[in-house]
Structure 1
């Protein structure tokens, strides 16, 4: 159980980075298939689903309070495809990211994106779409 908790904590801390199931399995010391089964038994969903929900929750925060475009938010939270991000966002939230952002635009005092970058709230990283372990999860 400790290994599964370590994987979940890693997903929480590094959700915006490229993450592969292979790398998570190595971290847990088990096969990818066993990791998926054990994670689902512990948390009721696969690591990929958990990561996706974590990224979408972060995207909701940014769309509500930051003056960033949907594309910028997509990339910041770890997606490399705007289409995949929009589809998953709509599936989990019930509306498109743009509609969600418009709905909140009148209610919030938006923080300029440049302030978030300068303060380190949003990392300025040149992420790639994968690595030696294959494509990123949720890309």
Structure 2
């Protein structure tokens, strides 16, 4: 499919609009109007260029954000569901399981076991280079400049 550069720019702009996750997302029709293409022509061109329909791309972006939020482990599954734009926990969980292979809660539990936060160490008041030099055998350097 041969596209004019301005049409390709419009489709890329539309892709960016569709990938935005959050409240107040524009519908596919609104995105098509924003880039100046009729809705059905927009869907056909978008799929030909990007290999997925606008709806499929939006679902992929939402699930990607959901995976990142679940991996962080700071939010319960219900909050993640609402954060990424789903209104039903059941439909979110079913779609997540179909696409990812496990339920959102199982995904979050599995990643909690893999990602370990190291305990915080006290900050040393001595510069790191001096600490390294202190571990060298005596007589390694004749003077400070050589070190």
Q: TM-score with structure 2 length normalisation?
A: 0.69
State the structure with more CA Rg. Answer: 2
2:92 aligns with 85
**Structure 2 equivalent of residue 125 of structure 1:** none
Cross-structure match for 1:11 = 18
Equivalent residue number for residue 82 of structure 2: 75
What is the TM-score with the length of structure 1 in the denominator?
0.72
Deviations 1:71-103 (A, max 9, x none): 100111111111221122112111111111111
Shift of 1:109: 4.7
Show the counterpart of 1:46.
53
How many residues in Structure 1 have an aligned counterpart in Structure 2? Answer: 109
Give the counterpart of 1:58 among 54, 57, 65.
65
Distance in 2 separating the partners of 1:25 and 1:109: 44
2:39 is matched with 32
Q: Which runs of 5+ in 2 are unaligned?
A: 1-7, 118-147
Provide the aligned C-alpha RMSD in A: 1.5
**Secondary structure of 2:22 counterpart:** coil
Structure 1 residue ranges (4+ consecutive) displaced by more than 6 angstroms after TM superposition: none
Partner of 2:134: none
RCO comparison, higher one (Cα < 8 Å, 6+): 1
Gapped runs of 5+ residues in structure 1? 111-139
- Judging changes above 3 Å, is the alpha-carbon distance between structure 1 residues 23 and 109 closer, same or farther for their aligned structure 2 residues? farther
